[in-house]
């Protein structure tokens, strides 16, 4: 075979590296474009074909945009702190830094072998002290500021007004007052404590540990928190201007969870208690329907309110609730299962004076609203289920339900009934009227509440950034001075936490204890920290005086396109946006938002095969086979089925997200070694629209490889015998290139292409292709850009016409973003001595674009099948008929009925079968 992709790819990768082809700098003369991939956590397993789907898209896009004249910043780095390296260290004794370096080396080699056009001079690693020095600096910005709610922004803590009452208390009181207002603050918060492993678990880790038989309890611990709630409103309203997928915007909105409602005060009936309990409700119009009250089990007043008769029961309930995470509690409650106990105490209804019993129940959460609710079982489902379970009264106060509220809660809006001065009002009016009345009587007030909680920012782990803070002997906290940053991680022999639950860093005594008696903070930052600002460090990664320069920030920000997995749709993006806003308030960045445009790439699904009636073996382990262990078997019904090659056992195919545990992973190394990086890149993009998930199929890889072979054949002679040191470069051009890229391997002889642009048909074909590839590349619709190029190659071949020089040159440029190695090889063969990375993109000549007709793409199940010229004026019915008449379509549809036909005039017909 003549298309020697191995030689071609290594030659051009070396060339790009030696010539620093993709290195960029600030250049005010040219428009900038900042295209960012979500940087990976370098795991021990290396890359599988699911990883580079997004990276390939951004790389194709940036290569395209460079040719359109943009100064493109396209960097890559490593999000390298985190638990796996630490667990590996505990298991093997290998230092997490050494393990991390190993994993990074693998990832980097693999990414380089895919030919990505990163500016590698900007590579960064979040675990590098030269990086985390600035993560610590940013932390100190947060610690050193407070949120001024009146001005709606963060300000330096020195500007915090100190009330007179605090002044009287002296320095100590002032210092405590400041600490309580900082954006990064210490707080005693309940955490998930795994007593067997002596670690605090993130909420999402709890289930896994409980399943493994470990005990996980909620326990209060002093923790560093970030006051993200202060930014709730801005995080919400600034979503407005972002070009993000609607579902991500929606997820961010839901996570922030803004609710408008009211706080209402209820007096405790036992007047000796002299207490009021404040509740938060979104339905103040239903106050007259409140028949009992519920406190969260952790509510601070539970013990005092509880009567002696109930004491034991209540204490037992509180203890059980403490074992469950909030998430578990919410899930159990959503399933309709409610538990609770009566405290023996009562509150008085603010309008009727009726005594309402106070219960505690774990469907009420301490961290939301006020941690207490008035229960309106007639109009709230949770309250309804609870009232049914414990026989509490249900009183209708909103008319409009389809059945009796005794049977089912009516949660909709309607007219108020049985509600005194609200009777006859509709819900919106009734809410307003109730709030007015509450305010008049001094019993309540309008309130906006957010689901968003402050961010628990400390971890009891080794492999994270140390906090740059000192605990002074007098109990105050002080920042490590700027000139002493970074605070480096100490060396340890043992990375596990201590018996007492103190973090691993507490074991580094000489590191922790300073001569003046101060102690270093021993928690570390969560993995989010490094990824909250890496996009800023990429702007100016070698700056050792500043985290980034103003000049670089002004030029490059915001990120114009950010591509990554949907699993980061909430937390990473929210945390990064929050940090960015604090930095904005303090004058360190000039844009309100970091990521102007966001795309979530779809997942690449891998195949595994399961025996029909034997999903698990006798020991309960999943039975599955890899694609290379099975072979296709044509069934009676014309459907392809599969059997295990060795045993003949019938198996079914199943598509899932690639993961080691499913055994459906395909490593990029395998594909690159067998077919080359250009084939892999092309197939990644051919899989379908970037946002969609798609199944990785070997046939498709082979199809893309054939296409590249065909392209190669358009430009190079077939060379039947190669190797043996034979050099088959016959002309000056080839020699020149050979010298230029310092190549030793043999090269194919370029064809002599006829000069010019060829026949009118060839020109029409070329300019139509330029037009389509351009328009589709602008939309990142690379799958359809590829089909346009496939059509070009096929049509050139079918007419038996020779590709002319000018058409070949322009086609090569179109190919460059998608199959950059082969395109460079062709470009050199055409006589050029420089990389094509910055060649101007070809322009479609309108004169050759036929305005009356267009190339209609015909798809079956969304996959390209054929393309045909169609009149622009054709109706949808005519387009469908035209598509049906094509032989490729007829054979593909033979015997199958199409469920649906999608016709997009001017573009495509898709038969869904």
Chain residues binding ligand ANZ by CB under 6 A are 259, 280-283, 286, 296, 364-365, 368-369, 371, 373-374, 376, 379-380, 449
The residue whose two tokens read 């020699």 is: 735
**Distance (Å, whole) CA 283 – CA 286:** 6
Of residues 280 and 467, the one with the C-beta less far from ligand ANZ:
280
**Which residues have a Cβ under 8 Å from the Cβ of 664 and sit 6 or more positions away?**
605, 606, 607, 608, 624, 626, 627, 656, 658
Of residues 177 and 390, the one with the C-beta less far from ligand ANZ:
390
Tokens found for residue 35: 């295209």
> Shortest distance, CB of residue 292 to ligand ANZ, whole angstroms?
11
Return the CA Rg of the chain: 33
> Shortest distance, CB of residue 275 to ligand ANZ, whole angstroms?
18
> Shortest distance, CB of residue 307 to ligand ANZ, whole angstroms?
23
**Which residues have a Cβ under 8 Å from the Cβ of 213 and sit 6 or more positions away?**
none
Q: Specify the pairing of strand 561-564 against strand 32-37.
A: parallel
Give how far Cα 184 sits from Cα of 220, 265, 309, 586, Å: 18, 31, 43, 15
Q: Omega before 558 cis (within 30°)?
A: yes
Of residues 379 and 471, the one with the C-beta less far from ligand ANZ:
379
Neighbours of 712 (CB within 10 A): 22
The residue whose two tokens read 């949770």 is: 382
677-686 helix and 698-715 helix, angle to the nearest 10 degrees: 120
> Shortest distance, CB of residue 262 to ligand ANZ, whole angstroms?
9
> Shortest distance, CB of residue 256 to ligand ANZ, whole angstroms?
12
Of residues 283 and 821, the one with the C-beta less far from ligand ANZ:
283
The residue whose two tokens read 């405790």 is: 268
For 283, the 3-state DSSP assignment is: coil
Q: Specify the pairing of strand 71-73 against strand 32-37.
A: parallel
> Shortest distance, CB of residue 207 to ligand ANZ, whole angstroms?
21
**Angle 184-189-194 (CA atoms, 0-180°, nearest 5)?**
120
> Shortest distance, CB of residue 422 to ligand ANZ, whole angstroms?
13
The residue whose two tokens read 């009676």 is: 636
> Which neighbouring-strand residues pair with 653?
609
Of residues 136 and 449, the one with the C-beta less far from ligand ANZ:
449
DSSP labels, 83-146: HHHHHHHHHH---HHHHHHHHHHHHHHHHHHTT----GGG-EETTSHHHHHHHHHHHHHHHTEE
* Cβ contact 464:524 at 8 Å: yes
> Shortest distance, CB of residue 263 to ligand ANZ, whole angstroms?
10
782-798 helix and 698-715 helix, angle to the nearest 10 degrees: 50
Of residues 58 and 263, the one with the C-beta less far from ligand ANZ:
263
Q: Specify the pairing of strand 258-267 against strand 276-281.
A: antiparallel
> Shortest distance, CB of residue 344 to ligand ANZ, whole angstroms?
21
For 241, the 3-state DSSP assignment is: helix
For 347, the 3-state DSSP assignment is: strand
> Shortest distance, CB of residue 260 to ligand ANZ, whole angstroms?
9
What's the chain's length in residues?
A: 913
> Shortest distance, CB of residue 583 to ligand ANZ, whole angstroms?
30
> Shortest distance, CB of residue 571 to ligand ANZ, whole angstroms?
20
> Shortest distance, CB of residue 328 to ligand ANZ, whole angstroms?
14
**Distance (Å, whole) CA 417 – CA 425:** 8
Tokens found for residue 309: 């008769």
* Cβ contact 734:716 at 8 Å: no
CA torsion through residues 465, 471, 477, 480, sign: negative
Of residues 54 and 371, the one with the C-beta less far from ligand ANZ:
371
Of residues 329 and 572, the one with the C-beta less far from ligand ANZ:
329
> Shortest distance, CB of residue 273 to ligand ANZ, whole angstroms?
21
> Which neighbouring-strand residues pair with 750?
716
> Shortest distance, CB of residue 433 to ligand ANZ, whole angstroms?
16
Of residues 24 and 235, the one with the C-beta less far from ligand ANZ:
235
Tell me which residue of 488, 514, 458 sits closest to 185, measured CA to CA.
Answer: 458
Of residues 329 and 763, the one with the C-beta less far from ligand ANZ:
329
In our burial notation (b when 16+ CB lie closer than 10 A, e otherwise), range 631-641 reads: eeeeeeeeeeb
Of residues 340 and 371, the one with the C-beta less far from ligand ANZ:
371
Of residues 92 and 402, the one with the C-beta less far from ligand ANZ:
402
For 744, the 3-state DSSP assignment is: coil
> Shortest distance, CB of residue 348 to ligand ANZ, whole angstroms?
17
* Cβ contact 252:573 at 8 Å: yes
Of residues 282 and 423, the one with the C-beta less far from ligand ANZ:
282
For 869, the 3-state DSSP assignment is: strand
Of residues 265 and 806, the one with the C-beta less far from ligand ANZ:
265
Of residues 283 and 520, the one with the C-beta less far from ligand ANZ:
283
Of residues 369 and 497, the one with the C-beta less far from ligand ANZ:
369
């Amino acid at each position: 075979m003549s298309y020697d992709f191995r030689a071609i790819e290594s030659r051009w990768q070396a060339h790009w590296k030696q010539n620093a082809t993709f290195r960029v700098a600030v250049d005010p003369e040219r428009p900038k474009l900042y295209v960012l991939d979500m940087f990976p956590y370098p795991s021990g397993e290396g890359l599988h074909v699911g990883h580079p789907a997004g990276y390939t898209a951004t790389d194709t896009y940036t290569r395209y945009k460079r040719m359109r004249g943009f100064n493109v910043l396209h960097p890559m780095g490593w999000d390298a702190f985190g638990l796996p390296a630490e667990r590996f260290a505990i298991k093997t004794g290998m230092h997490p830094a050494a393990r991390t370096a190993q994993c990074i080396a693998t990832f980097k080699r693999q990414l380089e072998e895919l030919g990505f056009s990163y500016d590698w001079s900007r590579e960064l690693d979040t675990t590098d002290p030269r990086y985390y020095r600035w993560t610590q600096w940013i932390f100190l910005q947060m610690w050193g500021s407070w949120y001024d709610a009146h001005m709606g922004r963060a300000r330096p803590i020195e500007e915090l007004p100190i009330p007179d009452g605090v002044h009287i208390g002296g320095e100590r009181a002032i210092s405590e007052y400041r600490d309580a207002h900082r954006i990064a603050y210490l707080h005693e918060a309940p955490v998930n404590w795994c007593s067997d492993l002596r670690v605090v678990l993130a909420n999402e880790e709890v289930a896994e540990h409980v399943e493994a038989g470990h005990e996980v309890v909620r326990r209060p611990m002093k923790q560093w928190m970030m006051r993200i709630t202060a930014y709730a409103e801005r995080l919400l309203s600034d979503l407005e201007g972002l070009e993000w997928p609607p579902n991500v915007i929606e997820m961010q909105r839901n996570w922030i969870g803004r609710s408008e409602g009211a706080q209402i005060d209820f007096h405790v009936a036992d007047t000796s208690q002299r207490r009021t309990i404040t509740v938060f409700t979104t339905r103040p119009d239903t106050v007259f329907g409140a028949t009992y009250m519920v406190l969260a089990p952790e509510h601070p007043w539970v013990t005092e309110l509880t009567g002696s008769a109930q004491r034991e029961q209540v204490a037992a309930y509180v203890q059980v609730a403490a074992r469950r995470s909030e998430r578990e509690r919410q899930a159990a409650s959503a399933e309709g299962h409610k538990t609770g106990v009566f405290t023996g105490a009562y509150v008085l209804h603010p309008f009727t004076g009726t005594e309402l019993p106070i219960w505690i129940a774990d469907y009420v959460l301490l961290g939301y609203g006020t941690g207490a609710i008035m229960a309106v079982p007639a109009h709230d489902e949770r309250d309804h289920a609870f009232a049914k379970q414990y026989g509490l009264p249900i009183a209708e106060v909103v008319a409009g339900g389809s059945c009796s509220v005794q049977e089912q809660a009516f949660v909709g809006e309607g007219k108020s009934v049985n509600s005194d001065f609200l009777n006859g009002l509709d819900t919106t009016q009734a809410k307003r009227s109730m709030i007015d009345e509450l305010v008049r009587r001094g019993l309540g007030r309008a309130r906006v509440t957010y689901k968003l909680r402050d961010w628990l920012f400390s971890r009891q782990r080794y492999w994270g950034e140390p906090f740059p803070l000192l605990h002074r002997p007098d109990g105050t906290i002080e920042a490590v001075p700027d000139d002493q940053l970074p605070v480096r991680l100490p060396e340890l022999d043992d990375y596990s936490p201590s018996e007492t639950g103190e973090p691993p860093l507490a074991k580094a005594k000489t590191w922790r204890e300073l001569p003046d008696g101060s102690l270093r903070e021993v928690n570390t930052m969560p993995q989010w920290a490094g990824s909250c600002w890496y996009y800023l460090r990429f702007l100016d990664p070698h700056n050792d005086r500043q985290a980034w320069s103003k000049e670089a920030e002004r030029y490059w920000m915001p990120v114009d396109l950010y591509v990554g997995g949907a699993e980061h749709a909430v937390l990473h993006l929210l945390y990064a946006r929050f940090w960015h806003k604090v930095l904005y308030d303090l004058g360190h960045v000039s844009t309100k938002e970091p990521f102007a445009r966001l795309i979530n790439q779809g997942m690449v699904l891998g195949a595994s095969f399961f025996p029909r009636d034997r999903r698990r073996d006798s020991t309960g382990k999943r039975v599955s086979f890899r694609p290379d262990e099975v072979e296709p078997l044509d069934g009676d019904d014309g459907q392809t089925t599969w059997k295990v090659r060795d045993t003949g056992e019938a198996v079914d195919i199943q598509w899932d997200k690639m993961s080691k545990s499913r055994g459906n992973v395909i490593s990029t190394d395998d594909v690159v070694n067998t077919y080359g990086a250009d084939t892999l890149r092309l197939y990644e993009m051919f899989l379908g629209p970037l946002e969609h998930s798609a199944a990785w199929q070997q046939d498709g890889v082979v199809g893309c490889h054939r296409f590249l072979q065909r392209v190669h054949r358009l430009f190079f002679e077939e060379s039947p015998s190669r190797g043996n040191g034979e050099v088959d470069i016959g002309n000056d051009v080839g020699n020149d290139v050979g010298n230029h890229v310092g190549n030793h391997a043999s090269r194919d002889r370029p064809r002599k292409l006829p000069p010019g642009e060829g026949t009118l048909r060839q020109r029409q074909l070329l300019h139509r292709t330029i037009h389509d590839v351009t328009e589709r590349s602008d939309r990142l619709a690379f799958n359809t850009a590829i089909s346009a190029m496939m059509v070009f190659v096929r049509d050139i071949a079918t007419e038996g016409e020779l590709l002319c020089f000018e058409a070949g040159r322009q086609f090569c440029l179109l190919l460059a973003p998608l199959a950059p190695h082969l395109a460079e090889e062709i470009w050199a063969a055409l006589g050029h001595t420089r990389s094509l990375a910055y060649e101007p993109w070809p322009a479609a000549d309108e004169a050759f674009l036929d305005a009356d007709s267009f190339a209609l793409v015909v798809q079956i199940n969304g996959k390209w099948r054929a393309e045909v010229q169609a009149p622009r004026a054709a109706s949808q019915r005519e387009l469908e008929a035209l598509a049906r008449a094509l032989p490729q379509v007829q054979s593909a549809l033979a015997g199958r009925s199409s469920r649906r036909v999608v016709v997009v005039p001017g573009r495509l017909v898709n038969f869904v079968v």
